[in-house]
Amino acid sequence: MGLYLNRGNAGFAAAVNGIYVDKTDLISFINSTLDTKEKLTCVSRPRRFGKSFAAQMLCAYYDKSCDSSKLFAGLSVSRDPSFEKYRNQYPVIYLDISLFISRAAQRKAVVRNISTEVMEELKKAFPTVSKGEDLAETLAHIAGETGEKFIMIIDEWDALFREAKDDAGLQKEYIDLLRSLFKGSWTDDIFAAAYMTGILPIKKYGTQSAVSDFQEYTMTQPEPLERFVGFTEGEVRELCAGSGLAFEEVQRWYDGYVLGTNTHIYSPKSVIDAIKRKRIGNYWTRSETYESLKFYIEMNEDGLKEAVIQMLGGAHIRNDVSTFQNDMNSIQSKDDVLTLLVHLGYLAYDIDRKSVYIPNEEVREEFVRAVTTGKHKELARLIQTSDRLLEATLNMDEEAVAAAIEEAHTAGTAPTFYNNEQALRSVIRFAYLCCIDEFFRIDELPSGHGYADVVFFPKKASAMPLLLIELKWNKTEKGAIRQIKNKDYPQVLRDYGGEILLVGINYDAKNKKHTCTIEECSK
């Protein structure tokens, strides 16, 4: 067992011994690509979404230096016809690029260290094989003289592009190494398959991938591997069963990444930590400082501030993801910033609507923290306005509510956007942003004989009343309250047993004024 060659199955064994979700069907997919033109696979997803677990799983399955039959017994892949054919049949090279970076005395030596250290280990394992001038040639000699093909697994392939984002020379040296391995005439002779993980997709130069023979599966185009990006809804339900944590609570806080054909994906870090602690919390976002998010949302790109405001209000923002060069230094536009945030996990991408949005309440709170402490002081003031708005609503101060919504509208919505009731709903969602601490928000809740526009349900530990908000455009706020009563919206909500406030809000486009009326719901 070596440091890079044939590392064994200890990493995957440790994962299986904990709270484990069976993702071994990924092995079946990789098996289907072995020795084909699709054998080079690159999967990118946000940090703490299980990238390293997948890499360790593949290492444990293919590594010929160990016997992983008991480790995979009972798991899904063990029922696949290809399971025994390829299990523990290959020499595996496993490279953790982040580890190379942390160990290097000088960052400029990282790429050279990768080549020399792996070559030294290969020469010890294959002492009779002819010496090569570089890593690719050494592997070619081994494959040619022994008849063995390798599986190469590169974890955090893009770490250099993130850690040395301003060092173009080092990045080029690294890309040249990858090209020598995966874009040359020796590639088919050397490798049965290669699997790379990262946060960013493969670097582009112009419109072309730097290592174009890889099949890429990203946060903007994950199909057909979307169910391996994180935990699926069905997997989260199973984890919640018997855990003491209700699935509905987990869903309300962590759901929101919708990939492929309506596959709902959850952050594994968030779900596992919530189940272990038996408490909903901000676990994924706390695994890294929000300074990185703050840096990008404060970039001086036209329309970025307005996009952040609208997304905080629940809106989807049209976005062209094709211009992004897949690095953190070639940011040219608002679309590039938002696309980067998709790959980092701070935004989700709707491929059908070609739009981005804040995926869930956990991430939304991270945006609020970044905005509150950032340089956009007008955004911080909007957060403070939201606090005043909630207080005014609870005090049934109708004029103060209308004034606060007016302030949120003026500061937070582009004029071309504010032109219908849907736009008003977006402003309301943003204006009541502080409610994320005490409430779950549901838009267009089926209730009585219609749909309640916005409903804020108090969380279990909260003493707040339920807020049922009905919106009108160029009508009257009292008409909104009448609609609530006529359609019997509160009836279906009474079972929760607490106080209900009915809030009617109207916007008059002619005089550009909001008006509000608030009533307690009679039992």
Q: 10-217 — its CATH code? A: 3.40.50
Residue 166, pLDDT score? 85
Model confidence at 414, pLDDT cuts 50, 70, 90, reads: very low
How many other C-beta atoms lie within 10 A of the C-beta of residue 392? Answer: 20
Vertex 503: Cα angle to 500 and 506 (nearest 5): 165
Q: What is the mean pLDDT of the chain?
A: 88
Model confidence at 486, pLDDT cuts 50, 70, 90, reads: confident
Give mean pLDDT, residues 300-316: 82
- Picking from 324, 238, 202, 213, the residue whose alpha carbon sits closest to that of residue 22 is 238
Do 10-217 and 396-520 have matching folds?
Answer: no
Give mean pLDDT, residues 351-362: 93
pTM (two decimals) = 0.84
Model confidence at 211, pLDDT cuts 50, 70, 90, reads: confident
Give mean pLDDT, residues 331-345: 93
d(CA 155, CA 503): 52
Residue 31, pLDDT score? 98
Give mean pLDDT, residues 492-507: 82
Which residues are registered as beta bridge partners of 454?
A: 443, 469
How many other C-beta atoms lie within 10 A of the C-beta of residue 442? Answer: 14
Least confident of 24-38, 137-151, 401-415: 401-415
270-286, pLDDT tens digit by residue?
999 999 999 999 998 87
Residue 415, pLDDT above cutoff 60: no
Residue 450, pLDDT score? 66
Give mean pLDDT, residues 315-323: 91
Work out the burial of residue 495: count CB atoms within 10 Å of its CB; fewer than 13 is exposed, 13-18 middle, 19 or more buried: exposed
Residue 448, pLDDT score? 59
More confident residue, 505 or 498: 505
Q: How many CA atoms lie within 13 A of 443 on its CB side?
A: 13
Residue 416, pLDDT above cutoff 60: no
Contact of 443 with 475, CB cutoff 8 Å? no
User: Which residue shows structure tokens 């952050």?
Assistant: 267
Residue 250, pLDDT score? 94
Say whether 327 sits in a helix, a strand or coil: coil
Residue 332, pLDDT above cutoff 80: yes
Q: Output the CA torsion 366→255→440→523 (10° steps).
A: 180
Kindly state the DSSP code that residue 203 receives in the 8-state scheme. Answer: P
Model confidence at 375, pLDDT cuts 50, 70, 90, reads: low
Phi, psi angle pair for 197, to nearest 5° = -115, 155
Domain boundaries, the chain: 10-217, 227-375, 396-520
Please report, for residues 120, 133, 415, the alpha-carbon distance to residue 142 in angstroms, rounded to integers and kept in the order given.
13, 13, 66
Residue 407, pLDDT score? 84
More confident residue, 505 or 206: 505
Q: Which CATH number fits domain 396-520: 3.30.460, 3.40.50, 1.10.3470, 3.40.1350?
A: 3.40.1350
d(CA 454, CA 242): 32
Contact of 431 with 507, CB cutoff 8 Å? no
More confident residue, 309 or 262: 262
Contact of 480 with 504, CB cutoff 8 Å? yes
Please, which residues have CB within 8 angstroms of residue 39's CB and are 6 or more apart in sequence? 33, 191, 192, 193, 194
More confident residue, 260 or 522: 260
